[in-house]
Amino acid sequence: MAMDGSSGGEEFAVGCLLSIKTTFGDEFEGQVITYDRPSNIVVLQEGLKSNPQSRRNIRLLKANYIKEFSFLGQSDDPLDLKKCYLDLNSLQSKEDAAVRQAEIDVERIGVGVTAEAQSIFDALSKTLPVRWDKSVIVVMNEVRVSSPYLAESVTGGTPAANERVRKVLELERRRLQTRGSGQ
Amino acid sequence: MGWRNEEDERRSPSSSPLVNDALLLTTMCIIGLSVDVHIKDGSIYSGIFHTACVDDRYAIVLKQARMIKKGSCDSNVANEGVIGTLIIQSEDLVQVVAKRVVLPADGFAGHETGDDTGAVACSFPSNGTQLTEGNKTMSTKSNVDQPQANQTKCLSGTDNGFPTHSTNNTLEVNKNADAKVSTKKEEALKDSDDNRKKKSYQSNGVKTNNQKESIMSSSSSPTETITSKIPNSNQTAKEFKLNPGAKIFSPSFPNKRSATPPVIPTGANLAYVQDGYPAVQVAAPPPEVEISPYAPRSLPVKFFPYGGNGGGDVQQHHPPPIVGYMTNRGQPVRYSNQYQTTPTYVQPATQNVMVGRFGPVVYVHPVSQDVVPSTTGFSQVNTCSILTPHQVHVPKHQGSAAAQALQLCATPPFISAAGGGGGQTPFMLPGHHIPISQPPYPIIRPMPLPGSNAFLVSKFS
């Protein structure tokens, strides 16, 4: 069983347990679900030791990026094609939901801001409605926190709101600091 | 590369994608999941797996992709922005890593959402051909494959769960489900379907056999889909119609009817009926040869009311009672004939039937009256016992139903006498009956009557 991925001439036996090292240095163990010759893709699943119904990582790996692998064992065909069926609707809704969620998440990610700014944003978002306006964090649609996101950089809004944002910002900064130092 | 060409040629006739099935399945499974895609230059993009091109090489499309690791190639987009749609060509693709995926193996149901339509088997190459095959064979096969089809239907539960890689049987079911789904969308259509069914049943009326019925109905039904549906309907119709909630009961109604005549499935009947009418139980036991005419007749009559009462489904079950009436009206003549021809020992059966009648309502009358004349003609002992329930029974419905039934069933003179006595003027009855029937008869008869009369008076006054 000379499974030389780059040649593509040999099949990866379905059900094989392999330990694979890729040309990029990734190393993982997995079971071969299938090997597709035309595209030269090996489909592997990780986490074999867990319960078969549980969720596993799945890798679609171009076989020609396999640097080396070792054969660990053989087990049954992981996929029973006769039992497999999919619901396109649920797939579609799953994707839609994922895309929507991603868009929401994207809103939360500042463009061109530092990681610190993002963590401040995330921290503020736990207690206050926030959004990004370029690199400025807008709190409650009125108070603006611009770089470097210190208490002094809080501007706008009613005095009460401004004061409140300052307080929360200081608190969150302190918390972030302690967390950072703790690590 | 020789093998690849070979492979292509081998696969092309079935017009399947060029990637293999398992890869396609895996691809479908990770749609909508967040995946990390490793690129040739070492960079990694994270995004939502949108789709893959499987025609030639395996290229993929990500939505909301973000670079999470910068690769060696400078020309790649490296900013932290999100790329709405990122196409990763096959040449650039190294690896796709999807985290926490459940493959639909091990009987995992991938259709949990339970939508009515659009459940599509993941496209295995054989599917198309099998489907057409199923189409062709459906009408012929459906009778034969009934039980299996039923089973698979049960397994799939809702309409949309298609076993992908399936035998012809299941495919038939799928096909049926498809047709069903399409018809389901138009309530009117469906109703008309049901009506058609009813009509067919109605015309069948006396049919005692499941098969006969299915054959009949299939022959009478206009389109192929319906043809395929009805034969299966005995069991599968239930699942089919589970989706439109109100119709849960209607399938069981044909079930009952079809199931009862052949005696064997009485158990199933009981399960369905459940409403606790003794009628079915009583009626079912007398499955003797002579009784077979009774069974189909009496049971349908009963079942209509059941559907109406037990189901509580207004829309569907209003029609059935009407049909019940109709059958009753049409049948008395026929049945009276049967009764007259039937020998004396039928009457024990009729007794049972009578008792059964007792519980259900209006529809009973024609039958009971039929019975009365025959019994009066034949054996007194039986009639006595019969009559008591009969008379008690009749008064209950006397006002409206009994009168109706009387008009309908007035065929033999006996009926008019006996039924008239029971229905119209109970007090007069003794006088009527004594001359007609033999000595033992009247003696016993008058006894119950006064009692029932008393009830009557109290009830109707």
Q: Which of A60, A80, A100 represents a domain boundary (last residue)?
A: A80
Each residue's pLDDT tens digit, B204-217: 333 334 433 333 33
> What's the CA gap between B34 and B98, in Å, rounded?
7
Q: Are residues A75 and A116 in the same domain?
A: no
Each residue's pLDDT tens digit, B304-344: 434 334 333 433 344 443 433 443 343 344 444 444 443 44
Residue from the list B31, B82, B112 with its beta carbon closest to the beta carbon of A95: B31
B371 in a structural domain = yes
Q: Are residues B309 and B448 in the same domain?
A: yes
CATH code of the domain in which A66 resides: 2.30.30
Top-confidence residue, A101 or B354: A101
The per-residue pLDDT for B423 is 42
A8 in a structural domain = no
Range of the domain at B156: 134-243
Q: How far B344 CA lies from chain A's nearest CA (Å)?
A: 59
Q: How many domains does chain A have?
A: 2
Q: Are residues A71 and A118 in the same domain?
A: no
A56 → chain B, closest CA residue: B100
Q: Which residues of B, range 45-84, sit inside 8 Å of A by Cβ? A: 47-50, 54, 56-58, 63-64, 79-82
**Do A58 and B101 count as a contact with CB atoms less than 8 A apart?**
yes
Q: Are residues A70 and A116 in the same domain?
A: no
The per-residue pLDDT for A81 is 67
Top-confidence residue, A166 or B247: A166
- The beta-carbon contacts of B424-432 under 8 Å, at least 24 apart in sequence, are B424/B398, B426/B391, B426/B395, B426/B452, B426/B453, B426/B456, B427/B453, B429/B391
Q: How many domains does chain B have?
A: 3
B453–chain A Cβ distance below 8 A for any pair: no
Is A15 exposed, middle or buried (CB count within 10 Å of its CB: 0-12, 13-18, 19+)?
middle
Q: Say if strands A16-22 and A66-74 run parallel, antiparallel, or are unpaired.
A: antiparallel
Question: Which residues from chain B sit within 8 angstroms of residue A36, using beta carbons?
Answer: 19-20, 22-23, 58
Q: Are residues A129 and A74 in the same domain?
A: no
**Whether the Cβ atoms of residue B363 and residue B325 lie closer than 8 Å to each other:** yes
Q: Which residues of A, range 154-173, sit inside 8 Å of B by Cβ? A: none
Q: What is the mean pLDDT of residues B426-439?
A: 45
Q: Are residues B314 and B396 in the same domain?
A: yes
The per-residue pLDDT for B105 is 54
Mutation for testing the A interface, residue in B8, B45, B55, B95 having most A CBs under 10 Å: B95
> What's the CA gap between B391 and B447, in Å, rounded?
11
Looking at every residue in chain A, the average pLDDT score rounds to 81
Q: Which of B98, B124, B153 represents a domain boundary (last residue)?
A: B98
**Do A83 and B163 count as a contact with CB atoms less than 8 A apart?**
yes
B249 in a structural domain = no
Each residue's pLDDT tens digit, A89-107: 888 888 889 888 888 887 8
A89 in a structural domain = no
Q: What is the mean pLDDT of residues B263-288?
A: 39
The ipTM of this complex is: 0.74
Model confidence band, residue B440 (pLDDT cutoffs 50, 70, 90):
very low
Q: Are residues B356 and B421 in the same domain?
A: yes
> What's the CA gap between B186 and B207, in Å, rounded?
30
Which of B434, B416, B329 is CA-nearest to residue B373? B416
CA A31 to chain centre: 22
Residue B45 is inside which H or E element, if any?
strand B44-53
A153 in a structural domain = yes
The per-residue pLDDT for B256 is 40
**Do A39 and B23 count as a contact with CB atoms less than 8 A apart?**
yes
The per-residue pLDDT for B108 is 45
B152 in a structural domain = yes
> What's the CA gap between B298 and B310, in Å, rounded?
18
Q: Are residues B297 and B444 in the same domain?
A: yes
Q: What is the mean pLDDT of residues B346-355?
A: 41
> What's the CA gap between A131 and B264, in Å, rounded?
71
The per-residue pLDDT for A21 is 92
Residue ranges in B205-262 assigned as alpha helix (H): 210-220, 224-233, 236-242, 249-259
Model confidence band, residue B63 (pLDDT cutoffs 50, 70, 90):
confident
A108–chain B Cβ distance below 8 A for any pair: no
Residue from the list A34, A91, A93 with its beta carbon closest to the beta carbon of B23: A34
Q: Are residues B81 and B218 in the same domain?
A: no
Q: What is the mean pLDDT of residues B215-220?
A: 38
A-to-B residue pairs, Cβ atoms closer than 8 angstroms: 209
The per-residue pLDDT for B75 is 61
Q: What is the mean pLDDT of residues B140-148?
A: 37
What are the DSSP calls for A100-145, one per residue?
Answer: HHHHHHHHHSPTT--HHHHHHHHHHHHHS-EEEETTEEEETTTEEE
Q: Which of B211, B243, B275 represents a domain boundary (last residue)?
A: B243
DSSP at B75: T
Is B22 exposed, middle or buried (CB count within 10 Å of its CB: 0-12, 13-18, 19+)?
buried
Residue from the list B21, B64, B104 with its beta carbon closest to the beta carbon of A85: B104
Which of B220, B315, B227, B216 is CA-nearest to residue B258? B216
Q: Are residues B306 and B341 in the same domain?
A: yes
The per-residue pLDDT for B37 is 92
In chain B, the percentage of residues whose pLDDT exceeds 70 is: 16
B9–chain A Cβ distance below 8 A for any pair: no
- Where in B284-439 does DSSP place strands (E)? none
Residue from the list B4, B21, B119 with its beta carbon closest to the beta carbon of A87: B119
Each residue's pLDDT tens digit, A3-32: 444 444 456 788 888 899 999 888 988 888
Q: Are residues B211 and B146 in the same domain?
A: yes
Residue from the list B50, B80, B163 with its beta carbon closest to the beta carbon of A85: B163
Question: Which residues from chain A sit within 8 angstroms of residue B38, using beta carbons?
Answer: 22, 24, 26
Top-confidence residue, B6 or A68: A68
What are B200's strand-pairing partners? none
B125 → chain A, closest CA residue: A81
Each residue's pLDDT tens digit, A105-116: 878 877 778 888
Q: How far A158 CA lies from chain B's nearest CA (Å)?
A: 33
**Do B120 and A88 count as a contact with CB atoms less than 8 A apart?**
yes
Of A123-132, B55-64, B131-140, B380-389, where does mean pLDDT reach its minimum?
Answer: B131-140
> What's the CA gap between B35 and B254, in Å, rounded?
51
Q: Which residues of A, range 75-104, sit inside 8 Å of B by Cβ? A: 78-99, 102-103
A150 in a structural domain = yes
Burial state string for A85-94 with b = 16 or more CB within 10 A and e = fewer than 16: bbbbbbbeeb
Q: Are residues B336 and B411 in the same domain?
A: yes
Q: Are residues B296 and B445 in the same domain?
A: yes
Model confidence band, residue A137 (pLDDT cutoffs 50, 70, 90):
confident
Which of A32, A65, A37 is CA-nearest to residue B93? A65
Top-confidence residue, B402 or A164: A164
* Beta-carbon count within 10 A of B108 CB: 15
Q: Which residues of B, range 110-129, sit inside 8 Å of A by Cβ? A: 110-113, 115, 117-122, 124
Top-confidence residue, B16 or B71: B71
Q: Quick one: chain A helix, strand, coil %, rounded to 5?
A: 35, 30, 35
Range of the domain at A133: 110-174
Largest Cα–Cα separation, chain B: 115
The per-residue pLDDT for B326 is 40
B25 in a structural domain = yes
> What's the CA gap between B69 and B46, in Å, rounded?
9
Q: Are residues B159 and B233 in the same domain?
A: yes
B77 in a structural domain = yes
B379–chain A Cβ distance below 8 A for any pair: no
- Please check the confidence at residue B222 and state whether its pLDDT lies above 50: no
- Please check the confidence at residue A154 and state whether its pLDDT lies above 60: yes
Mutation for testing the A interface, residue in B6, B10, B21, B23 having most A CBs under 10 Å: B23
Q: Which residues of B, range 143-202, sit inside 8 Å of A by Cβ? A: 160-166
Q: Which residues of A, range 18-57, sit inside 8 Å of B by Cβ? A: 22, 24, 26, 33-39, 41, 43, 45, 52-57
Q: Are residues A76 and A114 in the same domain?
A: no
Q: Which residues of B, range 249-308, sit inside 8 Å of A by Cβ? A: none
**Do B7 and A52 count as a contact with CB atoms less than 8 A apart?**
no
Q: Which two tokens stand for residue A73?
A: 């064992």
B309 in a structural domain = yes
* Beta-carbon count within 10 A of B118 CB: 15
Which of B262, B195, B265 is CA-nearest to residue B230? B195
B305 in a structural domain = yes
Q: Which residues contact A120 (CB under 8 A, 6 or more apart)?
A: A137, A145, A149, A169, A172, A173, A176
Looking at every residue in chain B, the average pLDDT score rounds to 48
B246–chain A Cβ distance below 8 A for any pair: no
CATH code of the domain in which B72 resides: 2.30.30.100
Q: Are residues B162 and B287 in the same domain?
A: no
Of A162-166, B144-148, B366-370, where does mean pLDDT reach its minimum?
Answer: B144-148
Q: Are residues B92 and B169 in the same domain?
A: no
Q: Which two tokens stand for residue A7?
A: 């040649």
**Do B22 and A88 count as a contact with CB atoms less than 8 A apart?**
no
> What's the CA gap between B387 and B55, in Å, rounded?
79
φ, ψ dihedrals at B51, nearest 5°: -160, 175
Mutation for testing the A interface, residue in B40, B97, B126, B167 having most A CBs under 10 Å: B97
B108 in a structural domain = no
Residue from the list B7, B50, B105 with its beta carbon closest to the beta carbon of A84: B105
Q: What is the mean pLDDT of residues B407-426?
A: 41
